[in-house]
Amino acid sequence: MTTILLLLGLFLLGLRLTGVQSIGVCYGLNGNNLPSKQDVINLYKRNGIQRMRIYGPDPEVLNALKGTNIELLVDVPNESIQDVATNPSAAANWVQNNIKKYSPAVKFRYISVGNEVPVGSAVARYVGPAMEKIQKAIASAGLQNQIKVSTSILTGLVTNSYPPSHGSFSNEAKPFIKPIINFLVQNNAPLLVNVYPYFSYIGSRNTIPLDYALFTSQKTVVQDGKLGYQNLFDAMLDGHYSALEKEGGSKVNIVVSETGWPSDGNPPAASSANAGTYYKNVIRHVMSGKGTPKKPGGGIETYLFAMFDENQKRGEETEKHFGLFYPNQQPKYGISFK
């Protein structure tokens, strides 16, 4: 009996550790009332948040992360991509100054070459070459087994995603995404995808039930052959897995590099009640080890957007209200990361 209890305890501990490690939080800096960067790192530690995404290599943040064991996803900002791709020394300098300089005291996990680069933009054609250059620089630094290079995309690149098995990359997106998929396959790296059921919901309120977007549906909403979907998050992920398969990326894993729900700015959909429900349920779901209907089993590595409300974010008013914490470091919702 003692042996059985011990094995059960170790199994449950393993599940808990696997789940906790699947959650990260994005740390944006677009606010004039945010805590000091050291205080932010301390807030991550107090709440047991073991992974972080930042949108550029901020030296003050990187110094504060030293010795914390918080794993980091760091972006090559969109405005730096062309230089990294075309300047012969830019990638090596970027890796030297922003990665190698801080490693191993800072635990880098991923480098995202750009965030939501529009496929029709002038910079889009430089994303793939910049990824190649950063990968080469990472290998030269001896860090290729520790750090994976990828890029973070919008879900809008996938069309025909209803049902999820029909998901495919749009004709406009294919010239952009195909070389990236080939790179990810060659380097055993994941595709980073920003997954927002909120935006899908507000764009199709007449056809998408709110409970399907908030993980509160008690029944299957979308039947796709033998696979049933009770939440939009899984359907969006599996639509991307289907799209990857159609372009030779069946072995590419997906990391959810952003997901969230705003608490204000577009009532009634954007509300504290809905946001709190979404964050609590998405945490529970990705930590459950269930995976998605198409990819069952295992946690879904996910980064919640975002740590704070950011009062200087551009765009719609909702963009300022995705925070899990107020700028005074008080939690907006009763969420546990431990």
Residues forming the active site: 116, 258
Query: What is the rounded CA–CA span in Å between residue 128 and residue 217?
Result: 39
- Cα–Cα distance, 118 to 111 (Å, whole number): 19
CA angle 290, 291, 295 (to 5 degrees): 125
Give me 5's structure tokens. Answer: 């209890």
In our burial notation (b when 16+ CB lie closer than 10 A, e otherwise), range 119-147 reads beeebbbbbbbbbbbbbebbeebebeeeb
Write phi, then psi, for 75 (nearest 5 degrees). Answer: -95, 145
Q: Is 150 helix (H, G, I), strand (E, B) or coil?
A: strand
Which of helix, strand or coil describes residue 1?
coil
Strand partners, 296: 291
Q: What is the identity of the amino acid at 225?
A: G
Whether 319 contacts 26, CB under 8 Å = no
Q: According to the 3-state scheme, what is the secondary structure of 228-296? A: EECCHHHHHHHHHHHHHHHCCCCCCCEEEEEECCCCCCCCCCCCHHHHHHHHHHHHHHHHCCCECCCCE
Structure tokens at 134: 């950063």
| Whether the Cβ atoms of residue 110 and residue 144 lie closer than 8 Å to each other | no
216 burial level (CB within 10 Å; 0-12, 13-18, 19+): middle
- Angle 272-287/232-246 helices, nearest 10 degrees? 50
